[in-house]
Amino acid sequence: MVGTAELAAMKRTAFVVNTARGGIVDETALYLALKEKTIAGAGVDPFVVEPAPPDTPLFELDNIIVSPHSAGVTEEAMYRMSYWAAKNVVDCFDGKLNPENVVNQEVLS
């Protein structure tokens, strides 16, 4: 979604922040834009490869902030994921399954 053309169209004072998914921002294009100062900086949580390898070129730059993309592994997040997964199984057997929680809707008919 954000590659060389999109980064080039941004102001030099722009900051790119990706907290969604790795690959939404082309990492090579972002590296070049940051290195050449086409944009001011970036904040990146997810990378295409998780965890990002230590030799990731973006790590060499001083105009980027990165985080380890680990919010989903907190104690609270693990509890909630486990709770809702178990609840969905029980709801299925009780005939109360919420169709919005089913990815492959065709199995419901």
**Which residues are marked as active site?**
21, 50, 69
Give bridge partners of residue 25 from the DSSP assignment: 2
> Distance between CA 30 and CA 4 in Å, rounded?
8
- Looking up tokens 């709801």, which residue turns up? 91
Amino acid residing at 24? I
Omega before 51 within 30 of 0, i.e. cis: yes
